[in-house]
Structure 1
Amino acid sequence: GAGVIGALAARMGAAHADLADANLLAVASAAATLARNGIANAQARAADGVPPGPASTYDEVLSNPPFHVGKAIDYAVAHAFIAQTRRALRPGGRFTLVANAFLRYDQLLHANFEHVACIAQTASFRVWQAS
């Protein structure tokens, strides 16, 4: 995306924020967001899922993962991303996911995390937190 979630995390006290997207135009947009806002403790890079690195790297992962291929809903991308996120989190880390309300991410989250809660919702969106 445009990097707004990562830029906000960096501004609100994250030591460092990795902004990742598989779409190169989105990476360029996120990098521009960081540059225009003078955010130096973050970087935007191309990655298909959680940026590669050692396990137990992140204290928190924030995401609004893609859920379709073309016009069809495809949970495979989200399933892989959620599993990658579980491995990437440090012990005690948390995953916050923003998603369209009709998507059944609760099932995927419960399959990968011990604690799962919907922490906010509207008619259109839900915000899930898992640890």
Structure 2
Amino acid sequence: MSFMPQWPNLRPRATDPLWFNVDKPIDDEEEVEKLETMNQAWKDRVKALYSDQIPIGKSASDFRGSEEEDDEEEEEEGEGEEEEESDTHEEEEEEFDEIDMEVSYTHQQQRSSPTDTPTDPVSIRMVTTSRYS
């Protein structure tokens, strides 16, 4: 009399093709090179398709100017950058000058080292003056 096991054998057969195809050798460098080549071809195709179109926000005269004019403009911009920075700093300082702060203490202030006594609550209220009022 032959006896059948109650549970099936969970080990794979020695010739199961699913187990042998899992670890196929793959050349990662070749795959990356193929993807980079495809990406560069896509970029070149897009560049060729849309090279004659003018960018948004530019007019035809702005976009198709001579290279000499562009070089001159870049030189002029480089010279004026230092002046522009100083202007912006002055504007920022003016904005800070307009902010007034009022500080009120809840009790009489003591003159001592900050580490000697615990600090007491101080309320600070910012008052801004409007330019247009």
With normalisation by structure 2, the TM-score equals: 0.15
With normalisation by structure 1, the TM-score equals: 0.16
Give 1 or 2: higher helix fraction: 2
Answer with 1 or 2: which has the greater Rg.
2
